[in-house]
Amino acid sequence: MYEEKLLPRHPPVFQEWFRRVFSDPYGWYQARSAYIRTTAVMSMVGYILGLGDRHGENISFDSTNGDSVHVDFNCLFNKGESFEWPERVPFRLTHNMEAAMGPLKHEGMFRKSCEAVMRALRAQTAALMSVIGPFVYDPLVSWGRARPMDCGERTNEQALQHLIHIRQRLNGLVSTV
């Protein structure tokens, strides 16, 4: 139904925006490349951190250089999995976004950029985990269901589980639950 009914009624138009806004060939190529690379970075970082709630209003595009700019980071640490309609995708990549990547779509520069980002994140796992670790102890971070803390308890078990999941994703382990 998606391919037969919806796609013909809603064809991708984002690639036309790139052609219209960046009319000279060099500018178009630079902007499209910046879009692909920044989308790959945010897709991989978002996947590792469990960033959810990615929709058209939370992903913006810089009309001066083509960069993909994400906003609203309230749905971190796989919070989207606990929604009434749980999120099931690791990051947002619509047919419209993919069409703007050119004829190779996600198999070209996007894939190569994702691979480079994951190599960089894996190489810096210790540094990344040292930045994320303090969130376990932050009383302002919501980790899901509220429960009273014991006087001596300084961490949240759910927060520790999220850190384990982040480390697993960095190591290439994917949870299918």
**In this predicted structure, what is the pLDDT of residue 137?**
74
Q: What would the two tokens of residue 49 be?
A: 């951190």
pTM attached to this predicted model:
0.82
pLDDT averaged per 10 residues, the chain (length 177): 87 91 94 96 91 82 91 77 80 89 93 96 93 77 52 62 88 74
- Tell me the three state secondary structure of residue 61: strand
Place of tokens 């099931």: 88
Q: What is the pLDDT of residue 148?
A: 47
Query: Where do we find the tokens 């250089």?
Result: 65
HEC states along 124-166? CHHHHHHHHHHHHHCCCCCCCCCCCCCCCCCCCHHHHHHHHHH
What is the pLDDT at residue 146? 46
What is the set of domains in the chain, with CATH numbers?
A: 2-124 (1.10.1070.11)
Per-residue model confidence (pLDDT) at position 143 = 59
By CB neighbour count within 10 A (0-12 exposed, 13-18 middle, 19+ buried), where does 12 fall?
middle
Residue with tokens 């709630």: 53
